[in-house]
Structure 1
Amino acid sequence: MHTQTAGETPALLFQGAQVILPDRMVRCSVRTEGDLITGLDRPRDGARVIDASGLILAPAMVDIHGDAFERQLMPRPEVFFPLDLALLETDRQLAGNGIATAYHALTLSWEPGLRSVARARQVVDQMAALAPRLRVDNRLQLRWETFCFEARPLIEQALSTTPRPALAFNDHTSMALLHPDTPLQDRPFDHDPAFPVTDTTSAAFAQKITARAQRSGVSRDDYVQLITRIWERRPDVPAAIDAMARAGRAAGVPMLSHDDTQLETRRFYRDRGAAISEFPMRRAVARAAREAGDFIVFGAPNVVRGTSHIGSPSARDMVQQGLCDILASDYFYPAMLAAVARMRADGIAVLSELWKLVSHNPAVALGLHDRGRIAPGARADLVLLDWPEGGAPAPLLTLSGGRIAHAGHSFGL
């Protein structure tokens, strides 16, 4: 087997595969040279031939939101592993699942522990240091908890780096303090003065935040005291959001709002430049996002499981109704491919259309116009799939920028 050395980008010619093009599937050859796709049905011209007969060649996937990397950082409560080890393992998992571009949903929270600003800063620094060694394009989605004012300097610093991150507005603080009589999906606009707040001294609230306290490495009592103090910041949160949105617009980064429940919520963030609605929790919000021309993201695990784990709309139904543009890995990297496979088997749409949910559409939403499709001049991000009739697909080869990121078969290379 040929061993690809650092910096080597051999010309390759894929022959015999069914190729997923932007508008159809067709059997054709695909040639890559360096980091680009240079043509379809072109002469070999000295390229190494990969016999892909019986396989499917697709654009490698683009993951707009994934936090499964947290399981490498902290596989058990309060058990942390070295960051370089965790991020290198995450990179291998991405490549092995056919994902060549991944935005890691890095939570910047007032919580201590896994999702703290201090931990996030370490991740930002370590990702930059590891960049030359990573197999795929690892990027950051700065998943900002809007009550976490301490994160603002880190966000402003990260917005000036290359590659540019995405910025997501996230409010799990209000969600945590929501009165239990109001379903999560029906909660009012987060800044509504009449927002129904729970009794933080109740046993029910203590039980609700047990997992959060454990993730943060503090006792439940300490967590209750902390979130009660943080809630006092609520009057200043809208101004903080405005400041971060201005910074995001100035940097030209894609911006998202997370878990929208009300039309007012979506409108509030759209007006500030967040044109991506990530995991809207009500069908009416998704419809409003569609009417406004926003991108709509749902979780691929939702499709695979057949339902949302927190009772939000079915992603499968949203795809069928034209209310979902993008499927994200969310918390399980294999779910993106598995979701497409399930919907293909169910006859929801043809494969060339379904594949856009995990490649072309997220690339466009993120402003990455060089990838997400197989076409001359596009970045050579490709995944070669073993996909037997009636069986589960498996990535055999992943290219990221023309470089071999994963090889489950030698293919004579």
Structure 2
Amino acid sequence: MNQDQILTNARLVLDDEVVHGSLVIKDGVIKALERGPVSLPGVTDCQGDILMPGMIELHTDNMEKYFQPRPKVSWPGRQAALAHDAQMAASGITTVFDAVSIGDVDEQSMRHGALDEMVSSLADINDNGMARVDHRLHLRCEVCHPDTLARFKSFMDSPLLGLVSLMDHSPGQRQFASLDAYRVYYQGKYGLDDASLEAFIEKQLANSAAYSSAHRRAIAELCSERGLALASHDDATVAHVAESLEYGTRVAEFPTTREAAEASHRHGMAVMMGAPNVVRGGSHSGNIAAAELVRLGVLDILSSDYYPAALLDAVFRIAAMEDGYDLPRAVATASRRPAEAVGLDDRGRIAQGLRADLVRVREVDGHPLVQRVWCAGRQVH
């Protein structure tokens, strides 16, 4: 049996309040909570710092950059996965659903070729006890790609899999409802001349017409059979939301408009927005600002997306906003609410009997700094 760890003199972020207190950790779980400090040999004095639940990240493609740190440069899988894992721990993220893509509009993308290695590398560091934090798998399914359904079937029974999102980045809808915006984005991204761009658009439209609806329905049915949490992606209209509800979707990832976000929230889907959207003051693609959804009270979950350190920063920013959330509600967007959305009932809160996933945070000049991180009671940063 492991010896008790006692953390004292901390501001504990609980479900509905922040209290000055102490907690006891034993065998990876929170054994007890007490108000006020304690004086015992060997206790850890948190010096009045904030102690909050470890953050739960549902959607990050951060891992990809470690597998391909430069164009056409591949990195060994275990080393790449461990470097990514270390960054998650340092950011205060103790459970991460690593998002890997099935299908890509860019046929030259590394995503297709690296998919198997990324998944096997995550399993490797988990199974060998090398990971600092708890890694799960989030399959991002590009439904307009011809091979998506077959590739999904090859991964759908992985024990790592906990979340599936359905995406369609074809032109003329959702994130790219404006064809002009689509042309600007992909012409700049891939350096296409006008003729090549038009051929690219024509191919994406044909693929969407041929595959999107059938793949969306088939994957949703397979997820329902397996009890897998399902997420929509870039819903823009009430009709999109209705379709997502039809498929039993639990999470509305990055709705692009106020009407889609409000409809999703109203019908019980957890609305997720990017933490970079909060930190930068708006969407980089001109969609709805996360801060506006906070003021409307319909933002449920924050995701670091492509920048892990943004998650903690965004939590404290929305807690400091005029008409923002109080600290417990802000913290819940990165802990309790994502846990609830994917059915993890053993974490996401500071409460007796739950996993001791914890982050000690000190505010310096208005900025939250990670001091210590525990995952299942083990200090990992």
Q: Secondary structure at the match of 1:379?
A: coil
**CA distances 1:259-297 after superposition (whole Å, capped 9, x unpaired):** 111111111122012121111001011111122111100
State whether residues 213 and 220 of structure 1, in contact with CA within 8 Å, keep that contact through their aligned partners in structure 2.
Answer: no
1:366 aligns with 2:342: yes
2:18 partner amino acid: M
Post-superposition shift, 1:226? 6.3
Which residue in 1 is equivalent to 2:29?
A: 36
1:127 aligns with 2:103: no
CA distance in 2, matches of 1:45, 1:364: 35
| 1:133–1:113 distance in 2 versus 1, CA, 3 Å | farther
1:25 partner amino acid: V
| 1:272–1:205 distance in 2 versus 1, CA, 3 Å | closer
Post-superposition shift, 1:395? 1.0
State whether residues 294 and 318 of structure 2, in contact with CA within 8 Å, keep that contact through their aligned partners in structure 1.
Answer: no
Which residue in 1 is equivalent to 2:134?
A: 137
CA distance in 2, matches of 1:295, 1:207: 31
1:30 partner amino acid: L
State whether residues 67 and 330 of structure 1, in contact with CA within 8 Å, keep that contact through their aligned partners in structure 2.
Answer: yes
1:260 partner amino acid: D
Moved more, 124-133 or 294-303: 124-133
State whether residues 387 and 394 of structure 1, in contact with CA within 8 Å, keep that contact through their aligned partners in structure 2.
Answer: yes
Q: Summarize the alignment of residues 75-86 of structure 1 with structure 2, pairs less than 5 Å apart.
A: 75-86=69-80
State whether residues 51 and 360 of structure 2, in contact with CA within 8 Å, keep that contact through their aligned partners in structure 1.
Answer: yes
Which residue in 1 is equivalent to 2:355?
A: 379
1:363 partner amino acid: A
Which residue in 2 is equivalent to 1:22?
A: 15
1:261 aligns with 2:236: yes
1:32 partner amino acid: I
Aligned match for 1:99, one of 88, 93, 108: 93
Q: Secondary structure at the match of 1:126?
A: helix
Q: Secondary structure at the match of 2:147?
A: helix
Query: What TM-score results when the alignment is normalised by the length of structure 2?
Result: 0.90
CA distance in 2, matches of 1:115, 1:229: 20
Query: What TM-score results when the alignment is normalised by the length of structure 1?
Result: 0.83
State whether residues 9 and 403 of structure 1, in contact with CA within 8 Å, keep that contact through their aligned partners in structure 2.
Answer: no
Post-superposition shift, 1:45? 12
CA distance in 2, matches of 1:227, 1:74: 27
Which residue in 2 is equivalent to 1:118?
A: 113
CA distance in 1, matches of 2:28, 2:108: 39
CA distance in 2, matches of 1:351, 1:264: 34
Aligned match for 2:152, one of 151, 155, 161: 155
**CA distances 1:9-55 after superposition (whole Å, capped 9, x unpaired):** 65311011111011100011111111211111299999952111221
CA distance in 2, matches of 1:397, 1:197: 47
2:53 partner amino acid: P
Post-superposition shift, 1:236? 3.4
Q: Summarize the alignment of residues 218-229 of structure 1 with structure 2, pairs less than 5 Å apart.
A: 228-229=202-203
CA distance in 2, matches of 1:206, 1:52: 52
Q: Secondary structure at the match of 1:281?
A: coil
CA distance in 2, matches of 1:69, 1:31: 33
1:369 partner amino acid: D
Q: Secondary structure at the match of 2:32?
A: strand
Moved more, 37-46 or 61-70: 37-46
Post-superposition shift, 1:336? 1.0
Which residue in 2 is equivalent to 1:58?
A: 52
1:36 partner amino acid: V
| 1:47–1:118 distance in 2 versus 1, CA, 3 Å | farther
State whether residues 176 and 182 of structure 2, in contact with CA within 8 Å, keep that contact through their aligned partners in structure 1.
Answer: no
Aligned match for 1:350, one of 323, 326, 347: 326
State whether residues 121 and 154 of structure 1, in contact with CA within 8 Å, keep that contact through their aligned partners in structure 2.
Answer: no
2:19 partner amino acid: V
1:56 partner amino acid: I
CA distance in 1, matches of 2:188, 2:102: 18
Which runs of 5 or more residues in structure 2 are unaligned? none
Percent of aligned positions that are identical: 31
